[in-house]
Structure 1
């Protein structure tokens, strides 16, 4: 860039700062900005289009087009050249705009006489606010320097919009961070919570995007980068000679922190008129734009590293962000783009709920949230952009809905819902110690799922008759290195102590698919859910399983031990796993360690293949637990992590119930204990149908035990079975409508 162009760019930013500093309402500011941009760039037209909603752009200010079109001209996302810029987040530079395939003629604007078109997105860290456009009659391509200059101005506009510069009488933008916002995400964990936002990574607000002294800004940038590099060096040193893969990750992190190219781009931004903070954020926005376009998981992780480094650098420059000195709200609801299981566990049970922009129902964070029994909503797009620390927030984990800064009418209705739930919990407390016996005399055992020591107090409060599934992988997932055998033995012993003689079923390590250990090399697979996971990993790397089995035997210390192998797909896998356990028992005996009083060995039935396994499987297994979540996704060929399909298939489909009945019959023939474990066990209609299909043991999250017991105590399984059989005979695809009608009729009696 020449000194003259640099000077013009800085001059434009200086004029922009003056326009923004003058006292005026939002519309006047926008009008003044379009005039000075058009004049500075020698263009006949400058227009600002802003989003009115997620799919609609509106012409909010213009210099050169018909003034009567302001607030009248609107277009859909992707419509016309302006809509394409907004949709793609990329600039369009055309010397002959009317001849472009995507051009849309807007007669009310009078723009047909202008040939040249340059449009850039108005965006901040991946959030699109609108489009900034310049046009001229002369047919010409705008230069790279002109594109850069307009891009910088668009970024400054986005920053000023963040600070409310365009709010007031006649404003084109509504006040940011003041309006109520509804987010529709996905339920990761059921429940409801009212509280205040606690941002995991508080948003850094850049209050000085334009700077006077580039030398001072460059000095500030270099000082901040030096501080950042020292902190990263400390992280690498702390890792020391520990886990090699963790060290390699940190070394890659350090490589980015020392990147000369990254620093050079930020220096160029400063030279063109931006402050140090704005220069960092401009490159961060570019990184996030690239993130959305990269299909390779490894490269995405590296770009996440660069994004994280940018956040750290911004906090150093601004002094903003949580450093432990900010008080946590009394009723915190954590809001984050994504979060690891270790970080989530550090917050612990003091959280009322969690809302994430990213993640899946099977992610580490979802597993920990379920273990902590707190509501979780995932895929709440852009909530970290909208939310500020301390904002009031309502989380509906049942529906996957979040209300940020809700109106009082919404908040009152939500509080009423929570009061009704609390009243129901009081009713459930009165039946806590009663066995779940239906009106026609069928006893159904209700157990709880767990994965952390923090879960165990729920054994008493929920009325669970034991732990039907203890997920042992959480102790591996929340560490940055492999736990030692003695550590695991201590944890498992405390679990058995807390159970106070109630049965506990330990599921051996279930990793792979969506559960990847931080210290284990990730293997990219085209379909991880059907790939190298669970028992397949354990049998290929038996050292880990042997160590875990030794820890379980020592934890039992003469007490009963129940072990279950996950994701068994064929008889040989179960027998091989069982043989390893038997050999470890013999080894422990030789070493003089006390053996468990009894040992029961079972399997999770999660693949349809095992419903049709040889009789030997059912005869050799001491018990079988149907893993409902995986079994359903494989039965329907519907990935439960894919929101487009996972809700299209019904647990009460007659085919799926037929499979369950087939498994029940196989277990009845061999006298094998059978249970059902999964989300459906904790839903009243599903639980009643499972019990009516012959299942007499259900395992679920602790909060579901009260409601399920309440329904069982008031139901007759023979009547529900008749409803199922009748619906099936009538050719119904799902028995759900008939069962819900039956339950509604009973409730009205």
Structure 2
């Protein structure tokens, strides 16, 4: 790395620091900054463009261009050289700017006399904030040293923007973290909640941007990095007994922590005048900007590692650790980039809702949020940047919308919506002990899904007649090591105790795809959802499956036991799994252990192939549960994790209903018990259609049982069946419009 003289740069940064500390209005401060930079760099022009919205840059201050253009000249992202710098998030220079491809001449600025151009992005932690530009009349090829120095200045401007230094009279910019913001994400768990933000990892706020003693500041950096390296070594030593993949992640941490290039760049930033914290954050911002443009998942993961390591180093330097001493607010809404199931379980029912910047519909956190029955919205851009702990927040999990620091009008409308839902819930509570029987006399069995002991108290109050699905994988996913058989026995026994005699269908371990335990190696698969997962893992690696079956048998201890195998694709797979279970029953008998009073063995139908299995399968299986989430994605070839396609196909599409009817008819012919399990079972109109085509049992989250039961009791299922048949005969694409009209015609 070439040596850079620090005198001019340090002088400029000190002047910028003094401007930030001054009591001037925001616009005057901006104007003064452009003058300082132009003078220091010996350029005719310095201009600052800031983003008014995600797509529009506005000229906010200038030295050298026409003053009348300030707050009048605007560019779209990618438009002109300035817009190109913002879109690409990297510097751009030219000795002859008008000849550059994409150059846009803005006559109102009077820039036609300026030939050379240098623009650098103003960004903070990957977030675009604007562009810093210098221009000169003479042909000038800006050096790498000058580009680097301007990037350092842009870093300071980014922090000043974040701290609200440019807010005030004349700027027309709202103060950061003060204005109301509406953000859209993806619904992962429905429901609404009002509360206050609780950041899972509080943001590090860098306030000392410029140093007075570069040698002392570099020494601070070295001390902090040594502590960081020590903590990484400690984590690596503690992980010796862990799986290889976990150790590889920590080895990557160690590699970054010992990177000479990383250290040299930060030391150079400090010599040019930045504080140690600002130098770390500058490198972090560059890495995050690069992250947005890297398509390769391996490289993205490594850049995420570097980002996490930078956060750790910032916390060491600033002392702003996770344990800040702040108390979690009442009605806390957790906000995080992402979160593991173990951490989310630790928060438990203290949370009203969860909002994630990343996440996936089928992630561990989603499963836990559903088990805790709290609203969850994922893929919310910028939420960890925009939100501060304590901010008022409204979470609309049904629509996937977040209102941050909402105004009174939005809050009032949201509270009205929640009040209406609370009133409806009171009405549903009155139906708790009544059957889900249509006006035609047909009764539908409503069951609840569960995965944690925390779910089971909902069983008597929800009106559910049984637990149609108990997800056993959560006991594996929320631990740092494989659970012991004795621990599983105790857990399953408590579940049966809490069910108080009501049936519980235990689904055996469903791991793989998006559910991988921390201590298990994730296989490299091009399409994990259709790969080595669920029962396929159990049949290929029978040790864990056998241990789990032994635990279930012992937990039953003379009580009825229902076991269900996930993702059964062929009758032969079910036969192998059932034989494994029967061998364990015989083994337990020989050991003298008490056997289940009654044993029922079922399969989850999550692949279309099983619908056409031989009659022998249907007669051998005691019950079938249609796993609607996976079955629908395989039927329509639409990945439910992919936002581009997951909402494109409707459960009430006539082709899917016709396919479900095939399963209903086969189960009726063979007298096989049948139920439907999944998100769609908890949507009243969808549930009504399933009941109408003859599915006798539905399993859903506890909160959905009341609304579904209410609609079924108001409906005539014979009329629903006839309506769907008419839709099929007419060749319509979906039964939803006709069903919505039918529901609208019902009398309460």
1:463 equivalent in structure 2: 463
| Residue ranges of structure 2 left out of the alignment (5+ in a row) | none
1:640 equivalent in structure 2: 640
- Aligned 1:76-225 pairs, distance under 5 A: 76-225=76-225
- How far 1:423 moved relative to its partner? 1.2
- How far 1:211 moved relative to its partner? 1.2
Residues of 2 paired with 1:90 and 1:240: CA distance? 40
- How far 1:588 moved relative to its partner? 1.5
Residues of 2 paired with 1:670 and 1:357: CA distance? 48
- How far 1:306 moved relative to its partner? 1.9
Residues of 2 paired with 1:123 and 1:245: CA distance? 33
1:376 equivalent in structure 2: 376
1:30 equivalent in structure 2: 30
Name the SS for the 1:93 alignment partner: strand
Residues of 1 paired with 2:615 and 2:396: CA distance? 45
Name the SS for the 1:394 alignment partner: strand
- Check the 8 A contact 1:93/1:119 in 2, yes or no: yes
2:581 is the counterpart of 1:581: yes
- Aligned 1:337-736 pairs, distance under 5 A: 337-736=337-736
Name the SS for the 1:567 alignment partner: coil
- Check the 8 A contact 2:127/2:289 in 1, yes or no: no
- How far 1:61 moved relative to its partner? 1.1
Residues of 1 paired with 2:730 and 2:187: CA distance? 33
Deviations 1:620-640 (A, max 9, x none): 111101111111111111111
Name the SS for the 1:734 alignment partner: coil
- How far 1:731 moved relative to its partner? 2.2
- Check the 8 A contact 2:714/2:746 in 1, yes or no: no
Residues of 2 paired with 1:300 and 1:40: CA distance? 37
Deviations 1:156-201 (A, max 9, x none): 1110111111011112532000000001101010010010000011
Residues of 1 paired with 2:245 and 2:103: CA distance? 51
| Residue ranges of structure 1 left out of the alignment (5+ in a row) | none
Greater alpha carbon shift after TM alignment, 30-39 vs 401-410: 30-39
How many residue pairs get aligned? The number is 748
Greater alpha carbon shift after TM alignment, 641-650 vs 99-108: 99-108
- Check the 8 A contact 1:608/1:631 in 2, yes or no: yes
Residues of 2 paired with 1:539 and 1:695: CA distance? 30
- How far 1:446 moved relative to its partner? 0.5
1:302 equivalent in structure 2: 302
Residues of 2 paired with 1:734 and 1:83: CA distance? 45
Relative to the length of structure 1, the TM-score reads 0.97
Residues of 2 paired with 1:3 and 1:229: CA distance? 27
Deviations 1:287-346 (A, max 9, x none): 222322333434333322221121122112212243162111011100001111111111
Q: 1:92 to 1:62 in 2, by over 3 A?
A: same
Residues of 2 paired with 1:3 and 1:368: CA distance? 53
- Check the 8 A contact 2:4/2:145 in 1, yes or no: no
Residues of 2 paired with 1:71 and 1:245: CA distance? 52
- Check the 8 A contact 2:549/2:581 in 1, yes or no: yes
- Check the 8 A contact 1:395/1:402 in 2, yes or no: yes
- Check the 8 A contact 1:60/1:172 in 2, yes or no: no
- Check the 8 A contact 1:203/1:321 in 2, yes or no: no
1:75 equivalent in structure 2: 75
- Check the 8 A contact 1:57/1:76 in 2, yes or no: yes
- Check the 8 A contact 1:508/1:566 in 2, yes or no: yes
- How far 1:498 moved relative to its partner? 0.7
Residues of 2 paired with 1:509 and 1:601: CA distance? 15
Deviations 1:710-747 (A, max 9, x none): 11111111111222222222221011111111111224
- Check the 8 A contact 2:480/2:518 in 1, yes or no: yes
Deviations 1:341-387 (A, max 9, x none): 11111111110000000011111111111011100000110010000
Greater alpha carbon shift after TM alignment, 178-187 vs 532-541: 532-541
Residues of 2 paired with 1:617 and 1:241: CA distance? 43
Residues of 2 paired with 1:525 and 1:91: CA distance? 37
2:17 equivalent in structure 1: 17
- How far 1:3 moved relative to its partner? 6.8
- Check the 8 A contact 2:244/2:521 in 1, yes or no: no
Deviations 1:595-630 (A, max 9, x none): 111111111111111111211221111110111111
- Check the 8 A contact 2:242/2:519 in 1, yes or no: no
Residues of 2 paired with 1:376 and 1:25: CA distance? 41
1:55 equivalent in structure 2: 55
- Check the 8 A contact 2:356/2:377 in 1, yes or no: yes
- Check the 8 A contact 1:10/1:273 in 2, yes or no: yes
2:284 equivalent in structure 1: 284
Residues of 1 paired with 2:43 and 2:250: CA distance? 48
Greater alpha carbon shift after TM alignment, 658-667 vs 424-433: 424-433
- Check the 8 A contact 2:48/2:132 in 1, yes or no: yes
2:738 is the counterpart of 1:738: yes
Name the SS for the 2:354 alignment partner: strand
Greater alpha carbon shift after TM alignment, 211-220 vs 350-359: 211-220
- How far 1:261 moved relative to its partner? 3.0
Greater alpha carbon shift after TM alignment, 572-581 vs 670-679: 572-581
CA RMSD of aligned residues (A): 1.6
- How far 1:274 moved relative to its partner? 0.3
- Check the 8 A contact 2:48/2:131 in 1, yes or no: yes
Residues of 1 paired with 2:53 and 2:363: CA distance? 31
Greater alpha carbon shift after TM alignment, 299-308 vs 730-739: 299-308
- How far 1:244 moved relative to its partner? 4.8
Residues of 2 paired with 1:58 and 1:598: CA distance? 73
Residues of 2 paired with 1:74 and 1:467: CA distance? 59
Name the SS for the 2:746 alignment partner: helix
Name the SS for the 2:685 alignment partner: helix
Greater alpha carbon shift after TM alignment, 417-426 vs 374-383: 417-426
Greater alpha carbon shift after TM alignment, 4-13 vs 613-622: 4-13
- How far 1:66 moved relative to its partner? 1.9
- Check the 8 A contact 1:246/1:480 in 2, yes or no: no
